Amino acid sequence: MPPSNDKNPVLLCAGGTGGHLFPAEALAVVLSRRGVAVELATDARAAHFEFPARAVHLIPSATVRGRDPVSLARTAGLLAYGTAKAWRMVGRVRPRAVVGFGGYPTVPPLLAASWRGVPTVLHEQNSVMGRANRLLAPRVTAIATGFRVLTHVDDRVQAKVAFTGNPVRPLVIEAAKVPYSVPDADGSLRLLVFGGSQGARVMSEIVPKAVALLSAELRARLHIIQQARPEDIDAVAADYHRLGVAIGCAAFFNDLPVRMAAAHLIVSRSGASTVAELSAIGRPAVLVPLPNALDQDQLANAGVLQDAGGAIRIVQRDFTPERLAGEIAALAADPARLARMAEAAKGAGTIDAAERLADLVMKTAGI
């Protein structure tokens, strides 16, 4: 029998963005269903998330943003302070295992856990291992991966790797039950645009201009839902209203998986959670990887879905109104292609990833 919730917990560690918290949430739901208590270690950015955990521990951390001596010293100081605080917290909580979901906010609790001899699991969501995870990988007990191929690792680390897929939230699992609705050649075309949990200004700058380049007939068919930064919402909505295009615009969608399931086409970034949800639900997409990332993880993630036939990848320097308008017009004129892309995207998904990761965590923890 699994332990009851009054026993020592499994401690999940995730930075305070949706890309890290959503897969952690999915694992928390499965572990709780199995009778395993869950607690969360995160940073202050997670304050607006409702997380299914028995307790939440805020651990100071920092991300390496600059290479100058002052920035590096500040980052090192915050990580050291966070690690000291995590050392005390791990000693107090006495978790059965500690599971990290990447990013520098996971470094202090995972380091503290490994030094205290607590079993540790690192989940790498991207197809390219990030720098924080590369720092932690030699020290953890096991490594779960979101993609079948993981790069930037040596043989010693590769020996710890097990493929689980990227866990998706219960909302995504429900949305994945909705079959793709192939648009009629002259019917409405539902377009969903977003840029990750923090929004993306480039979407607000490029997508309305691309829509303006479409024919009047195609614009009349469009129904657009777009995420935008709060400071951009009014301008984005006004652009579409001038074009006579139906628009719903907000800074954040709590029901994004539902909106993804309702879409005929999605334009978005290609973070690991986004790609996992797109492939779980099975929707065609135009993916614009975040540029200038140190590890180019979003470029690789988008490439996986493009190679599967479920997405079109456009690097940001090529993401112009003209290019996007051409892609939208071509897809709108070929509903059968949209249907094939939706099927290919769904074929690349791993809907039971949270269950598989829970199996690995419980095995590592000896539960």
Q: Which two tokens stand for residue 166?
A: 């990227």
Residues in the chain: 367
**pLDDT tens-digit series, residues 300-347:** 999 999 999 999 999 999 999 999 999 999 999 999 999 999 999 999
H helices of the chain, where? 18-33, 69-93, 107-115, 131-136, 155-158, 170-175, 201-213, 216-221, 233-243, 256-262, 272-281, 297-308, 321-332, 335-347, 353-365
What is the C-alpha to C-alpha distance for residues 280 and 269, in angstroms, rounded to an integer?
Answer: 16
Would you list the domain boundaries of the chain? 10-168+351-365, 173-347
Q: Are residues 121 and 40 in contact, defined by beta-carbon separation less than 8 angstroms?
A: no
* pLDDT level of residue 5 (50, 70, 90 thresholds): very low
Cα pseudo-dihedral 216, 199, 297, 210, rounded to 10: 10
Q: Which two tokens stand for residue 366?
A: 């000896």
Q: Which residues contact 133 (CB under 8 A, 6 or more apart)?
A: 100, 102, 122, 124
DSSP per residue, 302-340: HHHHHHHTSEEE--GGG--HHHHHHHHHHHHT-HHHHHH
Q: Which residues contact 117 (CB under 8 A, 6 or more apart)?
A: none
Q: Are residues 316 and 296 in contact, defined by beta-carbon separation less than 8 angstroms?
A: no
pTM: predicted TM-score of the whole model, two decimal places: 0.85
**pLDDT tens-digit series, residues 8-23:** 999 999 987 777 888 9
The predicted pLDDT at position 7 comes to 82
Considering the chain, what is the average pLDDT of its residues?
91
* pLDDT level of residue 151 (50, 70, 90 thresholds): confident
The CATH homologous superfamily of the domain defined by 10-168+351-365? Glycogen Phosphorylase B; (3.40.50.2000)
Q: Which two tokens stand for residue 244?
A: 């006579």
- Residue at token pair 């096991």: 142
CATH of region 173-347: 3.40.50.2000
* pLDDT level of residue 63 (50, 70, 90 thresholds): low
- Residue at token pair 């026993």: 7
Fold matches, 10-168+351-365 and 173-347: yes
Q: Which residues contact 132 (CB under 8 A, 6 or more apart)?
A: 102, 103, 104, 106, 107
DSSP per residue, 230-258: GGGHHHHHHHHHHHT-EEEEES--TTHHH
**pLDDT tens-digit series, residues 154-200:** 888 889 999 999 999 899 999 999 999 999 988 999 999 998 655 57
Nearest one of 15, 11, 40 to 196, comparing CA atoms: 15
